[in-house]
Amino acid sequence: MDFDLTQYGIDVKEILRNSSVPVLYEIGLRYEKGTAISDTGALLVYSGEKTGRSPKDKRIVRHPDSENNIDWGKINMELDEHTYKVNHERAIDYLNTRDRLFVVDAFAGWDKKYRLKVRIICHRAYHALFMQNMLIMPNEEELENFGTPDYVIFNGGGFPANRYTSSMTSKTSIDVNVEEKEIVILGTEYAGEMKKGIFSIMNYLMPLQDVLPMHCSANVSDEGDVSVLFGLSGTGKTTLSADPKRKLIGDDEHCWTDTGIFNIEGGCYAKAIDLSPENEPDIYNAMRYGTVLENVVYDPETREVDYSDTSITQNTRASYPIGFIDNVQIPGIAGHANHIIFLTCDAFGVLPPICELTPEQASYHFISGYTAKVAGTEMGVTEPQATFSACFGAAFMMWHPNRYAELLAEKMKKHNTKAWLVNTGWTGGAHGVGSRIKLKYTRAIIDAIHNNDFEGVETRTDSSFGFEIPLSCPGVPSEILVPRDTWQDKNAFDATKEKLVGLFQDNFKSFEDSVNPEIIEAGPKAHKLV
């Protein structure tokens, strides 16, 4: 069946739509520099200069129909319509210079009531395979009747934006146009920009229907017990959600409707740094034919990947269909959340490995979205640094965080959902003094949540943060559950805790005018030491 893109002003002879994996492999290996096949069959690719997202180069076209809904600022930066047209034309012109283009027509969202029809137009085989992994691919009948897409992504990432055009700050630009239902990408070939662009759109559209979009993973037991896990990069969200005792709904992006949870995506996008069969067997075994491995280092002779080598980037990534995980929920739909689990990697060593939150505390920590960078991971980072990302995904949240927090609180109360804060970071001292909480202990804590083992357990109230700390947990030494007890230097703990409380308070000041007083009151209080 002939397929063309002339309606977009694109006239290229060879257009490959929803191509097979072998075809994309062959073209990628033949034409895309540095592409190879790993010893396990994964496609090894390089994204070029950009090895991660460019949040400072993402903009939203300001339009009267949507401008009052968008939380404008450093994250949601505005773009005028004229500049958007310039960038759009630039992308179209570049795509017209290519010998061949790839089109991916697929769905975002397993729930047919809310799913979007998405069209990706790109010039790299790797990009096409990446998005075919990440989206929900139509069957033959659905593809034949696909019709007009709801949103189109024009990926001209191999061509730079004009830095001298109004509003441009670099040669990279990711432009979201809500009214035209388009995304234009220039100056970056990092595939994650397409995935996150779609998530941003869902984050805008879903609240209009009283649906909560969530940057989270989710899984479900055989009995239908659903858990949703929030966490920023490095907290263990993908690792912990791939639980052999539960079915994986999805590892990154979900929505919560009046009927339950659904996954936005058809695949997983896992960090590959230090990937091992011991710690992450499910993900490790997914590194096979059809998987895209981005920016990893490998042996040129054996093609064995060295997952510990970060000489290209620390943000090494793997994209694979969710079906590559053995125990998955397909279609990616389940009931309402029984448990909300906020994951944080607290490099200060102050937060407990597990605590239970009230609904108001849950809203506070959801809006805060806390984790910490550790010393040595970035230039100039010599001690733990707090990182706050509203709703655990500020870069993709187009409404004010309070809109998402209200939806979360509403659904938690309606469905009697329990909320937990789980620290996967440090114990016995801050980074450099203490040690990382063992993964097996964190897994045991998650199991205890699912088994309702904390019901009736003796707790201690943290007088600074106000949450309840369980004093026992199956499979976890009780001596690590109360952080202050694990520090040799109690005065150092008290000072570090007070510092972290202050960081929480300083971060939340920007939200206080827009959130309910009871949420503000649920935040931590200074000068009250456990």
159 neighbors 20 (Cβ within 8 angstroms): no
- The mean pLDDT of 313-325, rounded to a whole number, is 95
- The mean pLDDT of 171-180, rounded to a whole number, is 97
**Tens-place pLDDT, residues 254-309:** 999 999 999 999 999 999 999 999 988 999 999 999 999 999 999 999 999 999 99
Among residues 363, 343, 339, the alpha carbon closest in space to that of 521 is found at 363
Token pair belonging to 17 = 């739509």
For residue 463, name the pLDDT band (cuts at 50, 70, 90).
confident
pLDDT at 374: 66
pLDDT at 2: 74
Q: Which domains does the chain have, with CATH numbers?
A: 6-209 (3.40.449.10), 336-521 (3.90.228.20)
- The mean pLDDT of 480-485, rounded to a whole number, is 97
322: left (phi over 0), alpha (psi -120 to 50) or beta: alpha
Distance CA 388, CA 370 (A): 5
Interaxial angle between packed helices 192-205 and 125-134, expressed in degrees from 0 to 180 and rounded to the nearest 10: 40
The H-or-E segment that residue 198 falls in is helix 192-205
- The mean pLDDT of 447-454, rounded to a whole number, is 97
321 neighbors 286 (Cβ within 8 angstroms): no
Length of the chain: 530
pLDDT at 527: 58
**Other C-beta atoms within 10 Å of 358: how many?**
14
450 neighbors 339 (Cβ within 8 angstroms): yes
Residue type, 15: I
pLDDT at 123: 98
- In sequence order, which residues have a C-beta less than 8 Å from that of residue 310 and are 6 or more positions away? 273, 316
pLDDT at 382: 55
Percentage of residues of the chain with pLDDT beyond 90: 90
- The mean pLDDT of 315-323, rounded to a whole number, is 96
Residues paired with 121 in a beta bridge: 103, 154
478 φ, ψ (degrees, to nearest 5) = -65, -25
Burial of 12 (0-12, 13-18, 19+ CB in 10 A): middle
Interaxial angle between packed helices 21-31 and 125-134, expressed in degrees from 0 to 180 and rounded to the nearest 10: 150
- The mean pLDDT of 341-346, rounded to a whole number, is 97
Percentage of residues of the chain with pLDDT beyond 70: 97
pLDDT at 10: 98
**Tens-place pLDDT, residues 14-67:** 999 999 999 999 999 999 999 999 999 999 999 999 999 999 999 999 999 999
Among residues 157, 83, 74, 134, the alpha carbon closest in space to that of 395 is found at 74
**Other C-beta atoms within 10 Å of 163: how many?**
12
Among residues 294, 271, 295, the alpha carbon closest in space to that of 283 is found at 271
**Tens-place pLDDT, residues 73-119:** 999 999 999 999 999 999 999 999 999 999 999 999 999 999 999 99
Q: Which of 97-111, 234-248, 401-415 is the least confident region?
A: 234-248
**Tens-place pLDDT, residues 144-175:** 999 999 999 999 999 999 998 888 889 999 99
Among residues 168, 17, 149, the alpha carbon closest in space to that of 80 is found at 168
Token pair belonging to 376 = 């040595």
For residue 373, name the pLDDT band (cuts at 50, 70, 90).
confident
- The mean pLDDT of 400-410, rounded to a whole number, is 94
pLDDT at 169: 85
231 φ, ψ (degrees, to nearest 5) = 175, 140
Burial of 102 (0-12, 13-18, 19+ CB in 10 A): buried
Q: Catalytic residue positions?
A: 53, 196, 215, 233, 237-238, 252, 317
Distance CA 150, CA 84 (A): 19
450 φ, ψ (degrees, to nearest 5) = -65, -30
**Tens-place pLDDT, residues 197-218:** 999 999 999 999 999 999 999 9
93 neighbors 9 (Cβ within 8 angstroms): no
3-class state of residue 310 by DSSP: coil
pLDDT at 166: 85
**Other C-beta atoms within 10 Å of 381: how many?**
14
- The mean pLDDT of 121-132, rounded to a whole number, is 98
